[in-house]
Each structure stands twice: as C-alpha cells, then as structure tokens.
Structure 1
Amino acid sequence: MKDLNVPVKTILISRIDAIGDVVLTLPMAGWLKQHVPGARVLFLGRSYTAPVVACCQHVDQFLNWDDVKELPVVEQIQFFKNQRISSIIHVFPNKQIAQLARKAGVKQRIGTRNRWFHWFTVNYLVTLSRRHSPYHESQLNFALLRPLGLKVIPTLPEVTACLDFSEVENLPEKWQKILKNNKPRIILHPKSRGHGREWGLEHFGALARELHQQGWQVFISGSSHEHDLLRSWLQQVAPWVTDITGKLSLPEFISFMKACTGLIASGTGPLHVAAGLGIHALGLFPPIKPMHPGRWAPLGPQAEYLVLPKDCSDCRKNPGACVCIQQIRVAEVVSRVQQWR
C-alpha cells in the first residue's frame, strides 16, 4: 500500500519544438518512471505534438503550451501552481516558460548554462553542449537529470527501451479499407518541411516503382502543404503508389504507420515516430555534423539508417541540397527493404 504521507514527486518535462525532437525526449519519461519511485511525469508541448505524447504510456499528463500562453500572466502562473510541480526540466529553453516556473515557485528548476535567461530563472544549471557532443540527441537530454541524482547517461539500447509507444488509437475503418492484407505495406515520406537534407523525388520515384514491382503496397505520405508541392510528381508515380498526403490527421497517421511494415524518410518527425512504434524505420541521412545519424538516428527495435561513409563538409556550404545523401543508391535501399519481409 502506498504511503500517503510521502508526497508525490511531480516532474515536468518542457519541450515545445518539433515532433522528432519530442520523440527523442520521451525516453526521459520512461527513465524517470524507472528511477524515481512513484514519480508523476508531465510533458509540456505544443498542440501538434500532443498526439505523439499521447502514445507514450510513461507520460501521466500532457500540458498544452499553446493554450497556456494565451492566458493572462496571472492565470499562467496559477496554472503552473495548480500542477504542484516539484521539478521542471527545460529541455527546450524558453524564456517565458522559465520565468513562469520561477514565479510559480517550482522548487527545482533545471536548465542549461548556455541560455543567459536561465541564470536568472533556474536554480540548477547544467553544463551541456549539444553541437559538439559525441552523444545522440536523446542521450544528451539525460544530462539534464543530474540534479535529480540521475548521474549516468544511458546507452542507446537503454534509451530505446524507455521509448514506449503502446498507447496508439485504433485505425479508423475508412483507412483500414485501403490496406491490402495480401501485401506488405510501406510508406515513403519524401519531404522534410525544410528541416533536413532530402534524398530527392527522382530517387523516391524509382524506389516506389521497384517496390511496387516486388509486390509491396506503396504509400506516399506528407502534409497538405507538401501535397501541393508534390502534385505533379504524384501524378507521375500514380501507377505505383497510393497517395495519402494531407489526408490523415496526426493520430490517424500514427495508427496508419502502426499498420504498415515500415517507413522510409530522411531525419524527420514521421521517421522517429515510426521507429518508436516498433515498425521498420529506415532513415536516409547526410554525413554532415550535426545532422548525421550519430546525433539523429531513429530509435526503435527495427530502426536503421543509411549514410555515405565520408565527411560531407563541402555540402555544409550549400543549405539547399546535399550531393552526398543523393549518392545513396536506390538498389541499396531496396536491398534493406527486402530484408523486412
């Protein structure tokens, strides 16, 4: 029986940026559940990441920053007070959130030394340099747990074991109907919303045709905006693919991924979600630091990546393209996929 006299330790993880970053932060929740007995773990994020956090069984409650930031300041402070937060971990530094946590009287406020406003808003400063670190992005986040007494940065297999995406909604029937049960299913996600270097539509088109000929049901995914960008290309590859770009909500897309064999993309949010879901997830990466897979590889029991074995320093000067990622051969990708069947 739980001792009612022992206060529950409520820990808030604050990360209000992109989906991929959030996925690689969620293992912290699992690690906290393992090492802080009885801890209640909250996650502060944005509306568009809420469906991703909802998949993680280690997060007890999601707090939506998009809602909180619209409140008057007095109500924002009271909102933080109402959560009875023992510790806040500023994984993604934000001046306004840091100030609110201090004004709300959160006892333990953890942040990096790198942001000047943390010197006035947090009371546990952690030395952490992401850009030049040899650690994976997910491992770097664990350095912020040192003030909680968790000094060891886990190995990547240990981090992966803490990423539990078991709370996935059932796929709506209308999407189940387009799945062919007699074929393996694969999703190709060719765009990256400008967040990374891309393999190129020519390569993805050739890959789609080859996989279709080998008996795969091939889906092309992307946002509504990306659908408009891909419109003419989608017409070219229409004989080999099913276009789902812009047609599913994020919860539906997560459930759809779960129903497929695998997904191929660059280092984007869908790649990291697919890896966390436990399906095959193949990331195509440039050998440019800090974009390389040593920092951003997908984490999952069936996650993998391809990257050219060279230093891509020349491509760093060209923000729009990377010759090296485009030198990954379609045949090499097909060879990896053949092992999934």
Structure 2
Amino acid sequence: MNIPGTIILSRPDNLGDAVLTLPLAGAIKARSPGTRIIALVKRYTEPLWRHCTHVDGTLALEDLQAAGTDAPEHLKKVGADTIIHVFPQRDVANWAKQAGIPLRIGTSHRSWHWTTCNRRIDFSRKNSDLHEAQLNFKLLAPFGMVVPELQTLAPLMGLHLPQADVAVRHLLMPDRINVILHPLKVTGAAWGLANFGDLIRAMDPARYHILLTGTQAEAEVYRSALPVDLPHVTDTGGALSLEQLMALIGQVDALVAASTGPLHIAAASGIRTVGLFNMRRPLHPGRWAPLGPDARVLVQDPDCPQCKRGQPCDCITRIPIARVLELLPQ
C-alpha cells in the first residue's frame, strides 16, 4: 500500500514518549516526502513537535476535548487519509471514525479499536524486547514498512531545538562546562535526591556549572534536599517554558537524568546524555534508552535478580557517583 497524502500521528502522551515517536515521522517522510504529517498530542508537548522538521502541523487533544460533539468535525477538516493511533486513546479513536478518516490504524490489544479501527496490528509492547521507538514502527506494517535496526533511528528524529533567548543565555557560564541535572521524574525508578546532592557536591566548581531543571512542583520538592545555594549551581525550577528548556538543552554540554522527557530531548539534540536506569521491565533501558549520538546509559547491575523477577527494586539508587562523573565532559 502506498503511503497516503495526509497522516495524523496520534500520540497524546508524555514528553519522552513523544520524542521516541519522532523517528516514525522521519521514516514516513523518507519513504514519501510529499506526505503531510499532523501530530495529535497533549498541548504541553506541542513545542517539541513543532521543532521536528518532519511534522507539518499539530492538533492539541485538549482543543478537541473542548469542542465536545464537534470534535469529529474538527478532525474532518484536517483532510487526513489515515490516522495512526500510536498511543491508544478511546475518544480520539471514536472521533476519527465519526470523522470518516478512511484508514484508521491501531493495535488489536485495545478493545475499542475493534469497533473504531479498520486495520488492527497484533503486537504487545509489554512483553517485547524491542525499544519503544522500534515498537511504534509495527503500526506502519500496512504500508509495507518493517521495524528498523535501533541504531538507524536517531538520524530520523529531525529535532532542531529553538534558539536561546536572552533569558536562557544569561543562565549559562561560558567559562564552565554547563551540565543540566534533572533530578525528579514522574514514573519509574529514580536515582534519588541524596545521590543528586552528592553528585553536585562532587562536581568541581572551577570546572562545572550545574543547572537544575524541573517543574515548579518538582522544584519545591528538590529544593529542600539539594544544595541549591552553592555558587556553581543555578536553580531554574519552574522558571522555564518547554520552549526555553529545549533551548537551554541545546546550549549546555551534558544532561544527567533518569528516564524523563528532558533526557530524551538531550539525547536527540546530540549532547552528552547520561541516563540512569534499573533493569526492571518494562521500564528498563532496552525499552527506554535515550537515542542519540552521544547518549550513555548507566545501570547498577545488568543482571539484577530482583529486577529480573519484576519486583520493586532500588538498585538504581546504588549507581555510584563516580560512574556518573566519569561520563561527564572533562
């Protein structure tokens, strides 16, 4: 089957998931440069999609929800030939069918897709050994496209970070190695604030400038545990829009975080990225490792028996500070 003229990629999901969907858009454009790609996403992730060269426009899930019964008409106006439900969302699936989008592709593992999708692909994310970015390619099977090798995906990202404005540039120290530490995360295992605090104290102030990032709510948590008042630390928590955070990532030398959206943005941008993981499925690095030319992953024990049993495990917190320091630019 030929790739249609206009495709909606529906991924109204979190930031890291969005980054790992960008190669899907890149592969479609590589195969069919004239295809128009519209991303249906959560509003807060729109700046990311808008800075992807493969994406021609965005739709915010929240705008469709606000439209109520008119949501299918809003989708119809896009003129899409196909919608690919990369992240299954029941309302979106119903709207797409009501809008009369001719080809509606989704996984067969969501019950509502049996009444809303006319091409259902049988695969399981939970039990797969593939990376998240590779799993997305399963949904391109109707176009005769196969799952690519993992190392081929980073060049398909097409992510170009925004220019830094004056406020962002003023956060940097040109005579230091600028490193972002993103200490908190929404889901999955975390390295722990105690470790981040020890890392900050271990980083030579004459060499490194540390920038802490996070939402306002996250900053209120980490400020009570981290040495934010040290002279080589700049706390940006709650002060940056996503656009500004992306621009800042594009200006620094490295970023350290567990599996978060900023980790994946940093890897895609090409800077040194240090990702901290445990080996418990399905949140292990085999599924969620950052993709980029200078991305690195640290785990404490690749054969952790507790992780292998699928039990809650804190082995990530035992990754030594020294191993992180070894991976930072010198």
Contact kept? 1:258, 1:274, Cα under 8 Å: yes
Moved more, 309-318 or 206-215: 309-318
**Partner SS for 1:286:** coil
Matches within 5 A, 1:72-111: 72-73=68-69, 75-111=70-106
Q: Does 1:176 align with 2:169?
A: yes
Matches within 5 A, 1:304-319: 304-312=296-304, 314=306, 316-318=310-312
Matched with 1:160 is 154
Matched with 1:3 is none
Question: How much has 1:220 moved relative to structure 2?
Answer: 1.1
Contact kept? 1:87, 1:108, Cα under 8 Å: yes
Q: Does 1:334 align with 2:325?
A: yes
Question: How much has 1:234 moved relative to structure 2?
Answer: 3.5
Contact kept? 1:33, 1:39, Cα under 8 Å: yes
Contact kept? 2:267, 2:291, Cα under 8 Å: yes
Q: Does 1:259 align with 2:255?
A: no
For 1:90, give the aligned amino acid: H
CA distance in 2 between partners of 1:37 and 1:235 (Å): 50
Matched with 1:210 is 202
Q: Deviations over 1:156-196 (max 9, x none)?
A: 12111101112x32212122123111111000111002x12
Matched with 2:183 is 190
For 1:138, give the aligned amino acid: A
Contact kept? 1:288, 1:311, Cα under 8 Å: no
CA distance in 1 between partners of 2:3 and 2:191 (Å): 51
Matched with 2:277 is 285
Question: How much has 1:112 moved relative to structure 2?
Answer: 0.6
Q: Does 1:219 align with 2:211?
A: yes
Moved more, 240-249 or 40-49: 240-249
Q: Deviations over 1:208-248 (max 9, x none)?
A: 12223461111111110011112222456634411111111
CA distance in 1 between partners of 2:84 and 2:49 (Å): 16
Question: How much has 1:8 moved relative to structure 2?
Answer: 6.7
For 2:323, give the aligned amino acid: E
Structure 1 residues 57 and 19, CA gap change in structure 2 (3 angstroms):
same
Matches within 5 A, 1:120-135: 120-135=115-130
CA distance in 2 between partners of 1:92 and 1:56 (Å): 19
Question: How much has 1:308 moved relative to structure 2?
Answer: 2.3
**Partner SS for 1:97:** helix
What's the % identity of the aligned pairs?
39
**Partner SS for 2:223:** helix
Contact kept? 2:259, 2:277, Cα under 8 Å: yes
CA distance in 1 between partners of 2:82 and 2:305 (Å): 40
Matched with 1:41 is 37
**Unpaired segments of 5 or more residues in structure 1?**
1-5
CA distance in 1 between partners of 2:67 and 2:113 (Å): 23
**Unpaired segments of 5 or more residues in structure 2?**
none
Structure 1 residues 128 and 199, CA gap change in structure 2 (3 angstroms):
same
CA distance in 1 between partners of 2:12 and 2:43 (Å): 9
Contact kept? 2:200, 2:227, Cα under 8 Å: no
Return the match for 1:137 from 127, 132, 135: 132
Q: Deviations over 1:245-271 (max 9, x none)?
A: 111111001101110001000001110
With the length of structure 2 as denominator, give the TM-score of the two structures: 0.95
**Partner SS for 2:88:** coil
Contact kept? 1:86, 1:107, Cα under 8 Å: yes
CA distance in 2 between partners of 1:129 and 1:117 (Å): 16
**Partner SS for 1:246:** coil
CA distance in 1 between partners of 2:135 and 2:243 (Å): 28
Contact kept? 1:275, 1:299, Cα under 8 Å: yes
Contact kept? 1:209, 1:237, Cα under 8 Å: no
Question: How much has 1:7 moved relative to structure 2?
Answer: 11
Q: How many residues matched?
A: 327
CA distance in 1 between partners of 2:319 and 2:242 (Å): 29
**Partner SS for 1:72:** helix
Question: How much has 1:118 moved relative to structure 2?
Answer: 0.5
For 1:175, give the aligned amino acid: V
Matches within 5 A, 1:289-300: 289-300=281-292
Q: Does 1:238 align with 2:234?
A: no
CA distance in 1 between partners of 2:128 and 2:149 (Å): 15
Contact kept? 2:121, 2:139, Cα under 8 Å: yes
Contact kept? 2:64, 2:71, Cα under 8 Å: yes
